[in-house]
Amino acid sequence: RAARFTLDRAFTVGEVDRRLFGSFVEHLGRCVYTGIHEPGHPAADSAGLRTDVLALVRELGVTAVRYPGGNFVSGYRWEDSVGPVGERPRRLDLAWRSTETNRFGLSEFIGFLGKLGPQAEPMLAVNLGTRGVAEALQLQEYANHPSGTALSDLRAEHGDKDPFGIRLWCLGNEMDGPWQTGHKTAQEYGRLAAETARAMRQADRDVELVACGSSNQGMETFAAWEATVLQETYDLVDYISLHAYYEELDGDRDSFLASAVDMESFIENTVATCDHVGARLKSKKRINLSFDEWNVWYMRRFHAEFEAGPPDWPEAPRLLEDSYSVTDAVVFGSLLIALLRHADRVTVACLAQLVNVIAPIMTEPGGPAWRQTTFFPFAQAARYGRGEVLDVRVDSPTYATAQYGEVPLLHATAVRDPETGGVAVFAVNRDQRRPLPVRIGLRDLDLAEVVEHTVLADADPEARNTLDDPGRVAPHEGRGAVLSGDELGVELEPLSWNVIRLA
């Protein structure tokens, strides 16, 4: 039978915040070095930024970019990353057992964002693992104070006369995780985050602050952690963070394809926890969600390799360089759908990460840059997911999964651009073998034509783009989407990500 849903202009979830299409640059592996920054590369500009990568990042359409970590931030000494490059110290990076040269730092990162265009904004993390309130304040003064103080004048002396104007700040990273350098209990972190937030607001009332939530929904402390941290910080922060990575485990592809079930419940459970604390505090304020790390990541494989050998502190090693298949891209698209479906509360999200490290863009040192399969769903969602998310209640045939029970074969959302009246439907067919007929009722939307139906699917679900064959996978045109009166009929290919644009 066909899957069905109805779109009605009157029933909306909320407006898509452009920050939902954020990403993440961490000093990890080759994300920075030989990823975005490679002086001497034939495509490098005068700042050593790879212009081939810049072009792909622009095409991807990222907005907020989180920096400099990740686990890296818990050992980050911001002052090492500024000033004359030749004088910057080399440091051990405990998180990734690497040597950090600091050849690329804060000023270079802001320069990189400047070349992406006005939609790109920094999202800076402060170190609350091995450091605290004082260092966060110093970094804020260096970055944002106009002039006339020791640290703002130092920035000018370093060549950056204009302040960086960073509004969005993360108060540490994954502080609930025992792997984090300087890991803390919820009570310890909650107090530190509250005092850091209070001090940063004393310096600048307009900062937007993200408190660390859970590193994934499976953490033993999940929900209790958020409740304790928010009890301490509710009036002082704007967001709580969520992180989640998904992978196919033990050949269970059916469950993997349903990963968004976990992501949606993680979001809904976090919203419930935030609102519970708000109710207890009798507060009218609403805490929003910053899903500032999400992706497909073959983490089990990574841990097996990473933990095997002793650290030898290499510079920019090849780490977390997952190569993504069509199947991975379909799951990835479904994760994007999950974020859009909760656009009322998820107002910041960062695809982790941007280049080489579990990334939509890959590079070869001295060689080319190319798009992974996951590049396409992200670029399309960032481009066409503008406006108001419509409330999509799917009635779909289901399939059985070991991890999530019965799951709908269809996962979908739709976004209406109020300026043009156009609607973009994003849909995934989780059925690995059969096409899925879908009927979409269109109420009060004034839509006259199917502008485009693109599909990411392949006869080989393992197909991927590689250095040797970088153009193997790309979206193709869908066939047979028919708009008749107030109904759209379409058949979705097996295991596919679809974008249907209506005007």
The residues carrying an active-site annotation are 174, 293
DSSP string, 348-364: EEEES-SBSSS-SEEE-
Q: Which is nearer to ligand AHR, 186 or 442 (CB)?
A: 186
End-to-end CA, the chain: 27
**Candidate segments 69-77, 123-131, 268-276, 321-329, binder of ligand AHR by CB under 6 A:** 69-77
Closest contact distance (angstroms) between CB of 243 and ligand AHR is 6
- Residue 438's region, left for phi above 0, alpha for psi from -120 to 50, else beta, is beta
Cβ atoms 243, 292 nearer than 8 A: yes
Q: Residue count at the site for ligand AHR (CB under 6 A)?
A: 9
Q: How far is the CB of 99 from ligand AHR (least distance, A)?
A: 17
Query: What minimum distance in Å lies between the beta carbon of 200 and ligand AHR?
Result: 21
439, 487 in Cβ contact below 8 A? yes
Q: Which of the stretches 43-51, 68-76, 267-275, 309-317 binds ligand AHR when contact is defined by CB under 6 A?
A: 68-76
By CB under 6 A, is residue 71 in contact with ligand AHR? yes
Least distance in angstroms from the C-beta of 175 to ligand AHR: 10
CB 372 within 8 A of CB 356: no
Among the candidate windows 42-50, 51-59, 67-75, 125-133, which touches ligand AHR by CB under 6 A? 67-75
Is-contact 23 351, C-beta < 8 A? yes
Q: Which residue has the tokens 């080399």?
A: 90
**Minimum distance of ligand AHR from residue 335's CB (angstroms):** 14
Using CB positions, name the residue nearest to ligand AHR.
70
Q: Which is nearer to ligand AHR, 110 or 212 (CB)?
A: 212
Burial class (CB in 10 A: 0-12, 13-18, 19+), 73: buried
Q: CB-wise, 69 or 387, nearer to ligand AHR?
A: 69
Our CB check for ligand AHR shows the closer of 352 and 392 to be 352
351-360 burial code (b ≥16 CB/10 A, e <16): bbbbbbbbbb
Nearer to ligand AHR among residue 217 and residue 413 (C-beta): 217
Residues of this chain, 400-459, that bind ligand AHR according to CB under 6 A: none
Q: Which of residues 173-232 bind ligand AHR (CB under 6 A)?
A: 173-174
Minimum Å distance from CB 258 to ligand AHR?
22
Residues 330-359 that bind ligand AHR (CB under 6 A): 352-353
16, 19, 26, 401: residue in contact with ligand AHR (rule CB under 6 A): 26
Cβ-based nearer residue to ligand AHR, 70 or 122: 70
3-class secondary-structure state, position 156: helix
Q: Interacting stretch for ligand AHR, rule CB under 6 A, among 3-11, 63-71, 248-256, 368-376? A: 63-71
Given the complex with ligand AHR, which of 299 and 450 has the nearer CB atom? 299
Q: How far is the CB of 77 from ligand AHR (least distance, A)?
A: 17
Query: What are the CA-CA distances from residue 424 to residues 155, 307, 344, 385, 393 (Å)?
Result: 44, 44, 18, 7, 16
* β-sheet bridge partners, residue 362: 370
Please report, for residues 32, 88, 91, 239, 424, the alpha-carbon distance to residue 85 in angstroms, rounded to integers and kept in the order given: 15, 5, 14, 34, 46
Range 137-176, binding ligand AHR (CB under 6 A):
173-174
Within positions 256 to 315, which residues make up the interface with ligand AHR, using CB under 6 A?
293
Check whether the bond before 353 is cis (ω within 30° of 0).
Answer: yes
Q: Is 101 in the site for ligand AHR (CB under 6 A)?
A: no
Question: For residues 213 and 377, which CB has a smaller minimum distance to ligand AHR in the complex?
Answer: 213
- Phi, psi of 59, deg, nearest 5: -65, -35
Name the minimum Å distance from CB 293 to ligand AHR: 5
From candidates 22, 35, 68, 70, binder to ligand AHR by CB under 6 A? 70
CA separation for the pair 148, 153 (Å, rounded): 6
Between residues 109 and 142, which has the closer beta carbon with respect to ligand AHR? 109
Fill in the amino acid letter for 259: S
CA dihedral 362, 366, 367, 373 (to 10 degrees): 0
Could you tell me which stretch among 66-74, 225-233, 391-399, 480-488 binds ligand AHR (CB under 6 A)?
Answer: 66-74
Alpha helices in 91-211 (DSSP H): 106-114, 133-144, 150-157, 186-203
Shortest Cβ 236–ligand AHR spacing (Å): 22
Closest CA to 409 of 292, 498, 280, 302: 498
Task: Catalog residues that contact ligand AHR under the rule CB under 6 A.
Answer: 26, 69-71, 173-174, 293, 352-353
